[in-house]
Structure 1
């Protein structure tokens, strides 16, 4: 019997924000306070024609993230996400956005029921994945990723996104719109209603 392959586990803790706009440009911002690559922010962008772009802050992040999710284009650009009294100011290459964040969302109130250590545990996330997909179509808590990786989303809090303004490559984004249909970067999307969630992402992969 051949030995089982060694598995490496990587954890990313921070926030993910999903935003739809009336221009048809949708984007997901990952603001990672702790990760194997240190603190960083990256942005996944999907255009009205379905094409996708990764905006990454450096080549190392670009290589790892593009090996985990699906993109048509990868760009290394300066990425800045500055928290403000109203929400977030985002500056990432061709994307400029001011995003307002409101109070805790209905999803956030439900998430408070589960203790955080359990909510982040991959075993729990595997069990509840079918329920999560029913409650929030397009979303999920466990699934496969690129490079033979297995991924788990442990969401522990959520707030509503209430407004957005800005531009992509100089063209206005328009106003806030639902993430409908779901974005298609990986096995799961953000909820249909634009939100920012507190999350710990666990990625298990074969050792190099």
Structure 2
């Protein structure tokens, strides 16, 4: 079993580019940040900080292009220590910054949403357990169309998203190859990297992703 603990932020831009940022504090590959992005024409690109991440993520999701480049990233309240999944401030705004390769991004995250507060009531061990995430998979898709909590990770593996809290993305400024991407927009159409999109409304979640190996 492999587990990645951190944050996923999903947002759209008026230029049509949609961005999914994975900001991982703990994983089998160490701490890292990666970005999955799809442009207006449907071209799917992975930004990875080094080859090991690029190879692992490319084996799990689908891309048309992979860019390996150092990524400088942070997620923290202004003037405070970095946030930790499941233990981030409930009222203070957070700022997500990512810089590297063709991407420059700043996203301002608001306080926990009502659903985010409710998710924190689920016991931590249950919230990330594959059996629980399989059971709530259909309900997740009803609450957030296009979203799934359990599905295929390729090669016979299974993947599970255990979300611990949710924040809205209130503002964002981003550029790609030096060209501004315009104001924040819904993630529409949904992204097509794996079995699940992110919600249409720009959001950031504290999450534990679990990948189980193929059964022998």
The alignment's TM-score, normalised by the length of structure 1, stands at 0.92
How far apart are the structure 2 equivalents of 1:109 and 1:103? 10
Residue 31 of structure 1: how far off its partner (Å) = 0.6
Structure 1 runs not aligned, ≥5 long: 1-8
Residue 205 of structure 1: how far off its partner (Å) = 1.7
Name the SS for the 2:28 alignment partner. coil
Q: Map of 1:39-54 to 2, 5 A cutoff?
A: 39-54=31-46
C-alpha RMSD of matched pairs (Å): 1.4
Residue 155 of structure 1: how far off its partner (Å) = 0.3
The alignment's TM-score, normalised by the length of structure 2, stands at 0.89
Number of residues of Structure 1 aligned to a counterpart in Structure 2? 200
How far apart are the structure 2 equivalents of 1:204 and 1:92? 31
How far apart are the structure 2 equivalents of 1:119 and 1:207? 23
How far apart are the structure 2 equivalents of 1:178 and 1:87? 19
Residue 106 of structure 1: how far off its partner (Å) = 2.9
Residue 147 of structure 1: how far off its partner (Å) = 2.1
Residue 207 of structure 1: how far off its partner (Å) = 8.1
Query: Is 1:20 paired with 2:24?
Result: no
Q: CA offsets, 1:151-200, max 9 Å, x none?
A: 00000011111011121111111011111221111000111111110000
Query: Is 1:176 paired with 2:184?
Result: yes
The 4+ residue runs of structure 1 with deviation greater than 6 A are none
Structure 2 runs not aligned, ≥5 long: 79-93
* Match for residue 65 of structure 2 among 49, 59, 73: 73
